[in-house]
Each structure stands twice: as structure tokens, then as C-alpha cells.
Amino acid sequence: MKKCAIIYNPNSGRKVKFDVMPQFEKMLNKYGYDVDVYYTEYKGHATEIVKNLEHVDLVLSMGGDGTFNESVTGNYMRKDRLVCAHIPVGTTNDIGIMMGYGKNMLNNLKMTLEGVVKNVDICLINGKPFIYVATIGKFAEIPYETPRELKKKFGYLAYITEGVKSFFNKTKLHDVTYEIDGVEYRGLCSFIIVSSANRIAGINNFYKDVKLDDNRFEVLLCNFSKKKDIIRSLYFLTMYDIEKVPGIHFYKTDKITMKFADKPKKNWCIDGEMLDDDSLKFEIVIDPNMKMMIPKKNIDKLFVKK
């Protein structure tokens, strides 16, 4: 039989009954997999587990976006990369919803096992993988600073509450020099998003026509500092494509380098977790050689190569 390793984060945003695991194992057995289950115990544990796994045919992450990031990071550190998949059990679940998953976990597993294996673009920031988004500046710290107990109790509402608090805090502008496609720019930025996704921070269709295998990612830099400009931008977002909103600079590229004149007070947030890197300079590139098992539901929307 084939082998599947389940990496389950029991502390993810949405509580899962333990009796779901026998049902998962039963379904995986039905599809020809022997199953080993690994429960994560601390931050970074999923990375360690996947990095040190003996060869398996499928690594199945059960948790939030951060758990999936850890699993893929462990896979990236291997010489023999494995096929990864993700069952969303977190608070926001941007990756899972983008891929077409719903709330029924057993149905999500069935969709995965009847899906297809695709090469997916993975972004690297100073060599550290992120699956779908890296942000820095205004609001960026909300995912990793929102207390876990509030996420468990209130779910997505906990993020909104923290977002309101952040809105009323003073907005800092960062002096950033950046290079894209051989052209150097310099500007003041209050917020930066680098992503390869069409759902970010719980917002569907954040970008139009995003592909996960086009060897490109999206870069958004904005210079809003006043509360009225932030409110106005939210209005424009409901009316126009985000790249057309005044005060926003938008690019599609396969590489960007950024250098901050001063150390930002809050660090980068990647896939909902804080990046452990105190550098002033960051290089973001694409690695297209990560295989993922993905439901067929949104394949036509998300991939160039069918």
C-alpha cells in the first residue's frame, strides 16, 4: 500500500473532535494508504516532522495556514521532496478556501484523494518558503499577535477586533528601496503585500486571474498613512480592481529585492505567522518545484497548465 503521514495541529483555530481521525484513517485506507498520524506540540514541530520523515507518498497537513506553511517548509528542506496536501482546520483558511474546500472535513479529504497532483509556485523570502502571502506594515501583525485563545473562541471575529485596534494606531511610513525586473524604485510605504493567491485575509478575489503555476507572484505597495485614506481605499476596493486604487503600486514578477532604511517595528507576517528574520534587505523569488495534491474543483481557475 501507499503511505500517508498526517500532520495534525490540535491547537489550530477551529477545534476538531478527536474521533475524526479514525474516520480519516478509514477513508485513506479505502483509497489505498497506510496512515501514520503525527500531532504537533510546538511552533516549528511540523517542519521538523516532515523534514525527518521516511519517504511517504502523501503528507497531509491538518491545521491552519501556518501549519501548512510549516509542513511545506519541512518538505522544502528535504532532498527527496514529497507530495503535500492540506485539510483546513484554522481560523481564516485562506489557502483551503482558495483551493475549493468547504467546512465538511471528510468531504474535503475525499476531494483531495480524488484530486490531481500539480506543481505549485512557492515563494521564498530570504530562502524561507511561504505558500500564499507575506505582508509587512499596517495590519500585518494581526494574525500572529491575535491571542490564540481568542481565535479559538471567536474565530475570524478575533482578527476583526484586532484590526479595529490597529486602525486607530498611528501609521508608520517605511522608507523602502526595491528592484523589480531590473528597475529600481524608492518610496514611502505603510503596507506591503507579496502573494501568490486570490484570497487574502478572508477576502475572496483579492486579485483577478491569479495562477499558481505561472512562475509569477503579485506585489502590492501602498503609501496610505491617514485614516481617511485607508477608508477611501476600502471604498475603492469594492468598486475597482485593487491595482487601480489610488495610492497603490502593483506589479507581477518572479523576483523582487527590498531594502528598508530602518528596521520595521513589526516583522513580516508569512502565512499568518511571524518571520524570524531581522534583516533590512529581503529577496523574494519563486520555486516552481513543489508538488501538491489539489481538488479538481478550482483547477481551471488557478492553473495555466491543465
What pLDDT is stored for residue 151 in this prediction?
A: 53
Give the residue from 46, 49, 77 showing the smallest Cα distance to 62: 46
Strands (E), 199-245: 199-200, 203-204, 217-222
Cβ partners under 8 Å of residue 18, min gap 6: none
Task: Kindly state the cell numbers that stand for 274.
Answer: 511571524
- CA–CA dist 251, 220 (Å, integer): 7
- CA–CA dist 96, 200 (Å, integer): 11
Residue found under cell 505597495? 221
- DSSP-based three-state secondary structure for 110: helix
- CA–CA dist 52, 230 (Å, integer): 45
What pLDDT is stored for residue 18 in this prediction?
A: 55
Q: What is the pLDDT along the chain (306 residues), one digit of tens a residue?
A: 899 999 998 877 555 655 788 999 999 999 999 999 999 999 999 999 999 999 999 999 998 888 999 999 999 999 999 999 999 886 667 888 889 998 888 999 999 999 999 999 999 999 999 998 999 986 555 555 554 555 555 455 444 555 445 544 666 889 999 999 999 999 998 889 999 888 777 667 777 788 999 999 999 898 876 655 655 665 555 555 666 666 788 899 999 999 999 988 888 989 888 898 989 999 999 998 899 999 999 899 899 976
Give this prediction's pTM.
0.83
- CA–CA dist 41, 44 (Å, integer): 9
What pLDDT is stored for residue 82 in this prediction?
A: 97
Residue found under cell 501548512? 68
What pLDDT is stored for residue 249 in this prediction?
A: 86
What pLDDT is stored for residue 273 in this prediction?
A: 86
DSSP 8-class letter at 164: H
What pLDDT is stored for residue 226 in this prediction?
A: 60
CB contact at 8 A, 83 and 291: yes
Cα distances from 78 to residues 67, 75, 118, in angstroms, run 17, 5, 18
